[in-house]
């Protein structure tokens, strides 16, 4: 796991999808925790899990740290980021990847409208 999180990343992804999901994890108690996932799509269409991490809940500080970590491991250019409406995501992306575009995930938009 440690080697996975330290591996060198491709320098360019066309698109990176960022999302967190809650899974029940057994630690001292049996509670749901946020699993953050970044899935990158290379210019040739190949998809890969760029990074992931686990935290008690979803927040922008963890996303910012994850983005900075991916950049330090070699990911220099992203054309488009897709994400839900987590507060502060656009700002964090603009600081880390200022040339990248951002689009809110339409599945998340539709879920919010239906709710």
Q: What is the pLDDT of residue 49?
A: 95
Neighbours of 79 (CB within 10 A): 15
Say how far residue 12 (Cα) sits from the centre of its chain. Answer: 15
CATH of the domain at 21: 3.30.420
Enclosing domain of residue 10: 2-114
pLDDT band, very low/low/confident/very high, at 31 (cuts 50, 70, 90): confident
Percent of the chain with pLDDT over 90: 74
| Number of independent structural domains in the chain | 1
- Higher-scoring residue by pLDDT: 83, 26: 83
Q: What is the pLDDT of residue 111?
A: 67
pLDDT for 108 beyond 70: no
pTM for the predicted model, two decimal places: 0.86
SS (H, E, C) the chain: CHHHHHCCCCCEEEEEEEEEEEEEEECCCEEEEEEEEEEEECCCCCEEEEEEEEECCCCHHHHHHHHHHHHHCCCCEEEEEEECCCCCHHHHHHHHCCCCEEEECHHHHHHHHHC
In this structure, what are the phi and psi dihedrals at residue 61, rounded to the nearest 5 degrees? -65, -40
């Amino acid at each position: 796991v440690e080697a996975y999180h330290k591996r060198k990343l491709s320098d360019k992804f066309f698109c990176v999808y960022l999302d967190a999901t809650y899974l029940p994890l057994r630690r001292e108690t049996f509670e749901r925790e946020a699993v953050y996932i970044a899935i990158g799509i290379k210019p040739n269409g190949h998809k890969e899990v760029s990074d992931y991490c686990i935290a008690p809940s979803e927040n922008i500080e963890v996303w910012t740290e994850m983005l900075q970590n991916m950049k330090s491991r070699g990911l220099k250019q992203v054309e488009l980021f897709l994400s839900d409406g987590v507060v502060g995501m656009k700002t964090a992306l603009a600081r880390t990847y200022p040339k990248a575009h951002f689009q809110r995930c339409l599945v998340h938009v539709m879920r919010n409208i239906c709710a």
